[in-house]
Amino acid sequence: MYDKHRWSLSLVLHLLLVVVVGIALNAVPPPFDSSGIAVFGVGVGVYAALRFPPIVAIPIALIICVPLWLTHSSIVGKESLSLLPIVVSLFGYKKSLSRVIKVGAGFWSLIFLPILLLEHALYEADQPTMMFSGVLVTWVSGVFGLISGHFVFLANKGLKHTNTGSKEKVSLHFLFSYFFSGCFFAASMAVVYLSVALYQDDQEAQIIRYMQQRVAVLEQQLSDFIGQHQKAIAVASQSLSTPYAIEKLEEASNNQLSVLAAHYPEFITFLVADESGNITHSYPPGLLNKAQAAGAANVAYRPYFSRAMETSGPYLSNVFQGQGFGNDAIVAMSSPIINEYGVPIGIVEGSLSLRSFSSVDALNLDGFSLLLEDAKGEVIYASSELGLKPLNKAPSYLCEGECDIKIEDGPLNKQWLRLQGQLPTANWQVSYYYDYRRLLLLMSEYLLTDLLLLLVLSVFGTFMGSVVARMIESPIRGLIRYIANFTPSEVRREPNLVGSTLHIQELASLNDEFSSLEGHLVDAFKALEFARVKEQTLNVELAEFNHSLENKIEEKTRHLAKALEEAKAASVAKTQFLANMSHEIRTPMNGIIGSCELMMELPLPDGARHRTETISTSASYLLMILDSILDWSKIESGKMLLDKRSVSVAQTIDACSVLYERSASKKGISINVNIDESVPKAVITDGGKLSQIINNLVSNAIKFTHQGTILVEAKYRQGELSCSVIDSGIGISAKKIESIFDQFEQADATITRDYGGTGLGLAITKGLVELLGGSISVDSNEGTGTTFCFSFPCEKGEAQEASSNLKIQSLPSTLRVLLAEDNDVNADIVMDMLGSVGVKRFRAKNGMEAIEAAKRHAFDVILMDYQMPVMDGLTASKHIRQQAKNKDKVIIIALTANAYADDKAACLAAGMNAHLSKPIRKQVLIDSIARELARV
C-alpha cells in the first residue's frame, strides 16, 4: 500500500515537471524573427505522448502549447505543432520505433506541410524566399520536437517500452541511422539558429544605429524649422507693436502680412486680430470677407488668441481643424501686439500647412517613415506608409518604463522598429519607423540557405549512421545465425567470427561466453520446461483472481456512485427546503412585524402597547433565528461571499457596543472598548462579516454575563488584525470547551433551557472568521469568565469620511406608488405604511395587473413582490422597463421574502432599482424610496 502511494506521488510530480518544463520551453522567445514558428517545447509534448496514455498525454500537450497560441504567428503552424503530440499519442503510444517516426515525421508532414505552404503562399507569394523559409522554420520546430522528445523517452524507458503488443523489432542499421541523423540534425540546427540570430542582431543593430542618427537630425531640422517660423511671427508682432505702427495699424498690418507671405510660403494664411479677438486684417485679403460670411470673424475662443494675450508671449498650438479661412488641418503660431504700456492689444497669427513637413519626409530612405505628433498625441504629419491622417490620435503602446524599439501591432497592424525624440523648441514628439518586414525579407534568403544546409547535414548524418551500423551489424548477424541453429540436444562446433568485416572485442567475448554456456543450456532446457508448466498454472490462477477482483471493484463502484447521487440529491433538497421555509416564514412575519409597527404609531393603552412591543420583540427574535439558520446554510454550502473594501475597525466596534449598550445596561453590565494605537484608521476587509462576528461575540457575552464588564479589544500586528471579547460571565467547563464551535452545540443541555439560542451563533462566527482567512480561539475558566480571540490577515486601507445617513421622515405628497402584492395581509400593511406618510398609493394583485396599470398611468415608484400568481415580479419588471408609460424614470423596488444574494442579483438584473427583504419595516421602506428618489 505504501509503495503504491509513493509511486502515485512520484507520477504526479513527474506530470507536473513535464508541464512546467514544456510551458517554460515554449515560452522561450525565438532566437530570430521569421514568418515561421521557432519553438523548443514541442519535444516535451512528444515525450508525454509516448510516456503516458492518450487520456493523460493529450491534455498535457494542449496545456504545454498554450504559450504557442499567445504569439502572433501562423494559425496553421500553431495548429500543426499543437497536433503533432496528439497525433503521436493517438497513433504512436506503445508502438514501435519506426511506427513513431512514420506517424510523426511522415504522416504529420504529409498532412500539414502542404496546408502550411498554402497559408504562407496566401500572404507571401510575392516573396518566395520568405515563404519557404517560414514553412521550413515551422517544419524544423516540429521535427526537432519529435526527435528530442523521442530521444528523451528512449533514454528514460529504452526500446522495450516501444514494442509492447507489437512483433516488429528495431534493426541495428535503422537505429544507428536514426540516432546519427537525429544528432546531426539537432547539432546543425543549434549552429544554424545561432548563426541566423547573430546575423539578424547585427542587421537590426545597424538599422537602429541609423534610426538613432536620423532621429537626432530630425529633431534639429524640425526644431529649426518651427523656431524660424515662430521667430517670423514674433518679429511681425514686434513691428506692429511700435507707436508708429499702432497709429497706422491698417497700413502696417497689410505690409507685415505681405512680407510674411512672400518670405514664408509654408504659412497658408495670416491674420491680425484686435484685443477682442475680432479679425481686422488677413492674408490673402479676400479671406476676411469669407470668414465674416461664415460667422468666424472672431477668434477669441481660439487658444492661439487667448494664450498669447494671457502670457504676452508667442504661442504654438496643437494641430486642429481650420474654420472660416478653410478646412485644412493646421498648426497655428501666434504672438501678441503690445502697446507702449506693455498691454496686449491684439495678435498676429500664421497657420502653418502640415504639407510643409513633406520636404523633410522626402529625405528618408525606403522603408523608413516619419510621424510627428503634438502635445495631445494627435497626428501633425505622418508618412503615407504609416496610413495615419492628421488630427487622428497617434498610436500609443503600453510599456513599462521606456517602450521597446520593436512594436508588434503598429500602424496598419504591421511590425515596426520605432525610435522617438522630443523637439527642443516645441512640446512635440517625433517618431521614426522602420518596416520590420523589410528586415525579414533581407534575412529570409540567408535563413533559407542555412535551413537547406541543415537538411543536407541531416542526410549526411543518416549516411554516417548507416556506415557505422554496417561495421557492427555484420559480425552480430553471423553470431545470430549460429545461435538460431542451436538446439540443446545437438553438440555444436564453436562459432567463428574470423570472416567478419570487423572483429569487435565485446562480440568476441560474447561468442566465448555462449560457447561455455552451451553445455549448460541442455540441462537448463528441462528446468525451463518445468518452469513453463508452473507459469501456465500460475497464469490461470491469476486470471481467475483478476476476474473476481474486477467484479468486486465494479460492484463497489456502483454502490459509491449511487451514494454520491443520493448525497447530491439530499444537498439540493436541503437548500431548496431552506429557501422555501425562508420565504414561507418571512411572509407571515411581514404581517406580524408590520402590524406591530403600525399599531405602535397609534395611541394605545399601556397594557396594549406592552403586549404589542412583546409581539414585535418575539417576532424579531424569531427572524434572528431564521437568519442564523440561513447564514449557516450559506457557510456550509460555500455560497457565502466576501465584499472587501476599506473599513474603519474603530467605528465598527463602537457601533456594535452602542447596539448592545441598552440590553447590557438592563443587566447592570458595562461594555468597554479598547482600540490599540497600532490599529490603522481603515483596513481592507468585509465590514459586514467583521460586524457580524463582533455582534455575535458581544451578544453571547451579554447573554452569559450577570454582572461585571465586557471588554472589546483590537490590535494590528504585521498585517493581521486581532480582536478579543472578554467577559466576566459563567465561563465554560474544560470538557465542553472544544465542542462549542460545533453546529447546534452548547456547553450544557441546560443552557438552551435557561438562556435559549439555536447553538449556531459560535459555529457561524467560526465560519465567518475562516472565510476571512483567519482563526478563532477561546480561553475560559468555569465561573470566572470567557475570552474569545480571533484574528485574520488584512491590508491597511484608506480612511473615508463618514457619510451622514439621516433618515428621511417624509415623502412628497404628489408621489404615486403602485404596490404589486398578491398577499392581502401584506398588501394592507404596506398600503397603511404608505398612507401614514400621505402618498398616493395603488395596488395590483399580480405581475400582469402591474403591467397593465403601468401602461395606463405614470407611476413614480413600483413596489414589486417576487413571487406572485399569473406573472412573477421578475418577468413583470422586464415588461415594465419596455412597455410602461414611465418606463425610463419609474423606480422599481423589490419587496420579497426571498433573501438570498442570488435573489437580489436576479432582481437587479431584471431592471429593479433596489431590493428589500421581508419583513418590511416602515422606516426602512420610506428611507429606501427616498434614497432612490434622490438618485434620479
Residue with the bigger pLDDT between 97 and 75: it is 75
3-state secondary structure of 170: coil
CB contact set of 781 (below 8 Å; sequence gap of 6+): 731
The pLDDT, as a whole number, for residue 296 is 75
Distance CA 522, CA 146 (A): 46
CA angle 363, 365, 366 (to 5 degrees): 130
For 447, the grid coordinates are 535563413
71-85, 346-360, 740-754, 880-894: which has the minimum mean pLDDT? 740-754
* Location of C-alpha cell 447553538: 759
CB contact set of 422 (below 8 Å; sequence gap of 6+): 219, 428, 429, 430
Type of residue found at 561: A
Residue with the bigger pLDDT between 618 and 481: it is 481
Residue 474 pLDDT more than 80? no
Residue 400 banded pLDDT, cuts 50, 70, 90: very low
Cβ pair 214, 206 in contact under 8 A: no
Half-sphere exposure of residue 544, counting CA atoms within 13 Å on the CB side?
A: 5
Determine the topology of domain 225-353 in CATH. Beta-Lactamase (3.30.450)
C-alpha dihedral sign at 319, 323, 327, 333:
negative
Residue 631 pLDDT more than 70? no
CA angle 109, 114, 118 (to 5 degrees): 145
Q: Which of 94-98, 136-140, 704-708, 711-715 has the highest mean pLDDT?
A: 711-715
Helices and strands, number each (H, E), in the chain: 26, 23
What does DSSP assign to residue 105? I
The pLDDT, as a whole number, for residue 611 is 59
CB contact set of 578 (below 8 Å; sequence gap of 6+): 629, 630, 633
For 766, the grid coordinates are 467560526
Residue 318 banded pLDDT, cuts 50, 70, 90: confident
Mean pLDDT of the chain: 77
Cα-based distances in Å from 314 to 118, 157, 332, 603, 658: 60, 80, 11, 80, 66
Question: Residue 852: which of 860, 843, 861 has the closest Cα?
Answer: 843
Q: Which of 283-297, 638-652, 664-678, 760-774 has the highest mean pLDDT?
A: 664-678
- Work out the average pLDDT over 825-850: 85
420, with CB counted inside 10 A (0-12, 13-18, 19+), is: middle
Residue with the bigger pLDDT between 143 and 161: it is 143
What does DSSP assign to residue 278? B
The pLDDT, as a whole number, for residue 791 is 92
Half-sphere exposure of residue 760, counting CA atoms within 13 Å on the CB side?
A: 15
CA angle 674, 675, 678 (to 5 degrees): 140
Tell me the per-residue pLDDT of 569-604, one tens digit each, with 9 for 90 and over.
655 555 556 555 555 565 565 556 656 666 656 666
Tell me the per-residue pLDDT of 47-94, one tens digit each, with 9 for 90 and over.
888 888 889 888 988 898 888 888 877 788 888 888 888 888 888 888
Q: Are strands 861-865 and 816-820 parallel, antiparallel or unpaired?
A: parallel
User: Percentage of residues in the chain with pLDDT exceeding 70?
Assistant: 76
Distance CA 828, CA 831 (A): 5
The pLDDT, as a whole number, for residue 724 is 92
Task: Give, to the nearest 10 degrees, the angle between helix 436-484 and helix 505-600.
Answer: 130
In CATH, what number does 816-935 get?
3.40.50.2300
Determine the topology of domain 18-170 in CATH. Arp2/3 complex 21 kDa subunit ARPC3 (1.10.1760)
Cβ pair 317, 426 in contact under 8 A: no
- Work out the average pLDDT over 306-324: 83
Cβ pair 235, 263 in contact under 8 A: no
Question: Residue 25: which of 48, 54, 58 has the closest Cα?
Answer: 48
CB contact set of 871 (below 8 Å; sequence gap of 6+): 846, 847, 848, 851
The pLDDT, as a whole number, for residue 523 is 63
- Work out the average pLDDT over 358-363: 80
Residue 681, beta-bridge partner list? none
End-to-end Cα spacing for the chain: 69
What does DSSP assign to residue 102? I
CB contact set of 63 (below 8 Å; sequence gap of 6+): 19, 22, 23
- Work out the average pLDDT over 369-394: 86
Question: Residue 32: which of 187, 206, 194, 189 has the closest Cα?
Answer: 194
The pLDDT, as a whole number, for residue 723 is 93
Tell me the per-residue pLDDT of 548-574, one tens digit each, with 9 for 90 and over.
777 777 777 777 777 667 666 655 555
Residue 166 pLDDT more than 60? no
Fold match between domain 18-170 and domain 649-796: no
Tell me the per-residue pLDDT of 217-264, one tens digit each, with 9 for 90 and over.
888 888 888 888 889 888 888 888 888 777 777 777 888 888 888 888
Distance CA 655, CA 668 (A): 20
- Work out the average pLDDT over 608-613: 58
Radius of gyration of the chain from its Cα atoms, rounded to whole angstroms: 44
CB contact set of 223 (below 8 Å; sequence gap of 6+): 423, 424, 425, 426
- Work out the average pLDDT over 153-169: 61
Residue 729, beta-bridge partner list? none
For 877, the grid coordinates are 419588471
Residue 875 pLDDT more than 80? yes
Residue with the bigger pLDDT between 712 and 448: it is 712
Q: Which CATH number fits domain 649-796: 3.10.580.10, 3.40.50.2300, 3.40.50.1000, 3.30.565.10?
A: 3.30.565.10
Distance CA 721, CA 680 (A): 10
Domains in the chain: boundaries: 18-170, 225-353, 487-638, 649-796, 816-935
Residue 471 pLDDT more than 90? no
